[in-house]
């Protein structure tokens, strides 16, 4: 097989996506781009409200309408924007009408809120595909994932007469902050899936290495807290205030003092705290951005429950109202050994792969776990594959860049999964 045009397409698509990064739930340009591409290839495509359970959405920002305007001004197809109904994400399905397994892939499409580096040292800047959206950057390789998904769509379509069963390509919004995976899962998109593969570039693994599975995802919850107290003149009437800043400070300290759990790793971070209005006013409001993590659901629940208690008590201590909002959540999961073996076998036959690794500990979080668990619960098999890629700087860093050749390795692997599932190879 000749893959040289695939690599050219991959790079071109990736760079187009890289220049148009969009943060979670605002991927209107990206969704329109993906949907157009897939439709052009010949897929039936669903977008937005048709692939998202709105009641299961977490952490969606308030300024979605402005992003729709922006996307349109950047050339997004108004017809697709209209179909989305205000929500992002897409799914392409190829139903062969022949008996066979349902095989699904997850590609995450959102970017990180990073200000992209400039200058000759940074390839996207040097080569002219740096982000046009200030404060937004594809610094976690989701542009690569999405490009690989479109390339896979093209290859799968070209094989369609030899395949059986169904192939589903899921383009998930809002993976950063683990906000979108649950809403796609709750929409039922995974309910009929037999084989599920998510893939991620990099993750500390070099180009040429493939890791066939992952375990040890930390369960995590992202929550926003708002405290609402009462202002008063700090010199003249200090006793009349209800001090939201001190409530938040007390919460922050005591949240970090939550006892560890003997059953495994726990984490908690108050990442952001903003409080107060004027220097001489008892601070009437405060807000915090928090994340909790635990090695298992039980441990994560322990941390989260303790956190809620600390927040509530801190607010009550200062007579302050509070509101907590869950803005992201992911669970733990593990890859299936059988599917890992299949992937490992396929990987070892790829020319550019020089090493196939065993399962690794994630030590982080990804909301593809909701999808993996849903598939496993009904008897399907799932894995989360790491496609090694040399990177220019750490994930989320403003100089992040991955090795574009790894996209071809990933593509070959996923094409292999489809072929294997259909019994073609």
Residues making contact with a copy of itself (CB under 8 A): 113, 177, 218, 220, 222, 233-239, 241, 243, 245-246, 248-250, 252-254, 256-257, 259-263, 265-267, 269-283, 286, 289-291, 293, 302, 309-310, 312-314, 316-317, 319, 363-365, 396
Cα–Cα dist 195/409, whole Å: 20
| Residue 239 labelled as part of a binding site | no
| Residue 136 labelled as part of a binding site | no
Instruction: Report in angstroms how near the CB of residue 48 gets to a copy of itself at its nearest.
Output: 25
Complex with a copy of itself: residue 177 or 380, whichever CB lies closer? 177
Complex with a copy of itself: residue 152 or 282, whichever CB lies closer? 282
Instruction: Report in angstroms how near the CB of residue 260 gets to a copy of itself at its nearest.
Output: 5
Complex with a copy of itself: residue 144 or 283, whichever CB lies closer? 283
Instruction: Report in angstroms how near the CB of residue 255 gets to a copy of itself at its nearest.
Output: 8
Tokens of 398: 């403003």
Chain-centroid distance of CA 283 in Å reads 35
Cβ distance 174 to 109 under 8 Å?
A: no
Residues in the chain: 425
Distance from first CA to last CA of the chain, Å, rounded? 14
Complex with a copy of itself: residue 193 or 290, whichever CB lies closer? 290
Nearest one of 204, 222, 181 to 389, comparing CA atoms: 204
Half-sphere exposure of 210 (CA within 13 A, CB side): 31
| Residue 145 labelled as part of a binding site | no
Exposed/middle/buried for residue 88 (C-beta within 10 Å: 0-12, 13-18, 19+): buried
| Residue 176 labelled as part of a binding site | yes
Output the CA torsion sign for 408, 413, 417, 422: positive
Complex with a copy of itself: residue 95 or 305, whichever CB lies closer? 305
Run of H or E including 305 = helix 297-317
Instruction: Report in angstroms how near the CB of residue 252 gets to a copy of itself at its nearest.
Output: 4
Could you give the angle at the alpha carbon of 355 between the alpha carbons of 351 and 358, nearest 5°? 130
| Residue 261 labelled as part of a binding site | no
Instruction: Report in angstroms how near the CB of residue 223 gets to a copy of itself at its nearest.
Output: 9
Binding site, by residue number, is 140, 142, 176, 200, 396
Binding site for Mn(2+), by residue number, is 140, 142, 176, 200, 396
């Amino acid at each position: 097989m000749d893959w040289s045009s695939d690599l050219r397409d991959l790079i071109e698509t990736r760079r187009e996506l890289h220049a148009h990064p969009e943060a979670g739930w605002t991927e209107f340009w990206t969704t329109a781009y993906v949907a157009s591409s897939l439709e052009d290839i010949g897929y039936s495509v669903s977008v937005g409200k048709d692939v998202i359970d709105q009641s299961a959405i977490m952490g969606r920002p308030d300024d979605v309408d402005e992003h729709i305007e922006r996307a349109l001004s950047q050339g997004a197809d108004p017809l697709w924007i209209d179909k989305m109904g205000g929500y992002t994400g897409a799914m392409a399905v190829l139903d062969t009408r022949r008996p066979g397994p349902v095989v699904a892939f997850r590609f995450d499409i959102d970017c990180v809120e990073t200000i992209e580096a400039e200058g000759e040292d940074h390839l996207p800047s040097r080569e002219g595909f740096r982000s046009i959206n200030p404060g937004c950057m594809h610094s976690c390789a989701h542009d690569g994932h999405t490009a690989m998904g479109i390339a896979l769509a093209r290859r799968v379509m070209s094989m369609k007469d030899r395949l059986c069963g169904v192939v589903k390509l899921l383009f998930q919004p809002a993976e950063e902050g683990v906000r979108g995976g649950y809403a796609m899962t709750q929409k039922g998109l995974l309910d009929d899936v037999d084989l599920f593969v998510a893939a991620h570039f990099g993750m500390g693994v070099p180009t040429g290495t493939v890791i066939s599975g992952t375990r040890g995802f930390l369960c995590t919850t992202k929550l926003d807290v708002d405290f609402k107290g009462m202002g008063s003149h700090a010199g003249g009437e200090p006793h009349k205030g209800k001090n939201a800043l001190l409530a938040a400070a007390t919460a922050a300290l005591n949240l970090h003092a939550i006892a560890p759990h003997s059953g495994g790793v726990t984490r908690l971070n108050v990442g952001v705290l903003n409080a107060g209005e004027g220097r001489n006013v008892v601070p009437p409001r405060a807000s915090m951005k928090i994340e909790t993590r635990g090695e298992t659901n039980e441990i994560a629940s322990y941390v989260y429950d303790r956190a809620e208690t600390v927040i509530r008590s801190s607010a009550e201590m200062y007579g302050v109202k509070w509101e907590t909002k869950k803005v992201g959540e992911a669970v733990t999961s593990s890859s299936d050994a059988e599917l890992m073996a299949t992937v490992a076998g396929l990987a070892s036959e790829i020319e550019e792969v020089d090493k196939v690794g065993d399962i690794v500990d994630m030590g982080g979080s990804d909301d593809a776990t909701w999808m993996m668990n849903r598939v496993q619960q009904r008897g399907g098999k799932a894995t989360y594959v790491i496609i090694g890629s040399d990177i220019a700087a750490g994930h989320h860093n403003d100089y992040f860049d991955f090795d574009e050749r790894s996209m071809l390795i990933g593509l070959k692997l996923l094409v292999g999964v489809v072929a294997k599932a259909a019994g073609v190879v």
